[in-house]
Each structure stands twice: as structure tokens, then as C-alpha cells.
Amino acid sequence: MGKVNIADNPNPAPDYMKTVVFANPLNLDANDSNAFYCEITGDTTINLLNSRKGATYLIQLDMDATGGYTVTLGSLFRAYPTGTSSIVTTADAVNLITIVVSKAGYLIYNITNITVETTTTTTTTTTS
């Protein structure tokens, strides 16, 4: 797991990602972008619509400060290697889902879970 310091970046979505408003189900349209960002604020099922065979996609899912939600992937998603990828749903977790669409139209994916580290400043005052 890598560590990312986001203290200097209040907007976690990179410029190249399409920010999507949370919904259940969360239907992402590949005609709009090949990279998506969404803050997860409740239980949801994620679907990627209109994907193209051979194309690659990236989905960044950030859990809100509450976390603990049930997040499932639609029926066309297939983990690679099988059974090795899971979405971390703890508070403030960040998940990057990399997808390649197979010839059969399945969404072959792998998930990278990122530990987010914020900078905390402590001030000590001494009086005499």
C-alpha cells in the first residue's frame, strides 16, 4: 500500500477524472469519460455502461468520513487475479479500480487501496 499526502490538495479528483455525484446504483457512462471520481456516502452498486472492448478505465472511489458502506460491483466485473481485489470501505479509504474490457465484454479489474495521510500541525505554547 502506498501513502499519499493530500494536505495541500483540497480537491481529491485529478483534473482528468470526471467527478460523478453519488447514487445507488452508481451508473458510470463510458461515453462520458474513461476516468471517474466519486465520494461514496452510502451503500451502492457500481456499473460501467457503454464500455468498449479493449478499452481501459479508471475509477477512484473515496469513502466519506463515516465509511462502512456496502459497495458492490455490477455483474460484468471480474477480478484479476481471481478473488484478490476488494474495496476497502473504512472511513476516508481511497480505492483505485483499474479496468480492462475483455473481448467478451467483461470488466477485468484490479483494485489498489491507498492509505491517505494528512498533515497535522501541533502548536505548543509555553507561558512563564
Mean pLDDT of 54-77: 95
In a domain, 122, yes or no: no
In a domain, 27, yes or no: yes
In a domain, 126, yes or no: no
Q: Which residue has the cell 478473488?
A: 83
- Residues shown for the chain: 128
118 — pLDDT class (breaks 50, 70, 90):
low
Q: Taking all residues of the chain, what is their mean pLDDT, rounded to a whole number? A: 84
Q: How many domains does the chain have?
A: 1
Range of the domain at 7: 3-117
pLDDT digits (tens, 9 = 90+) for 72-109: 999 999 998 776 678 999 999 999 999 999 999 999 99
Does pLDDT of 31 surpass 70? yes
Tell me the CA distances in angstroms from 59 to 8, 18, 28, 66, 128, one per residue in order. 22, 9, 9, 20, 54
In a domain, 105, yes or no: yes
In a domain, 125, yes or no: no
In a domain, 124, yes or no: no
Tell me the CA distances in angstroms from 21 to 18, 36, 38, 81, one per residue in order. 10, 10, 6, 30
In a domain, 85, yes or no: yes
CATH number at residue 49: 2.60.120
In a domain, 123, yes or no: no
Question: What does the block give as the cell for 13?
Answer: 479528483
| pTM higher than the cut 0.85 | no
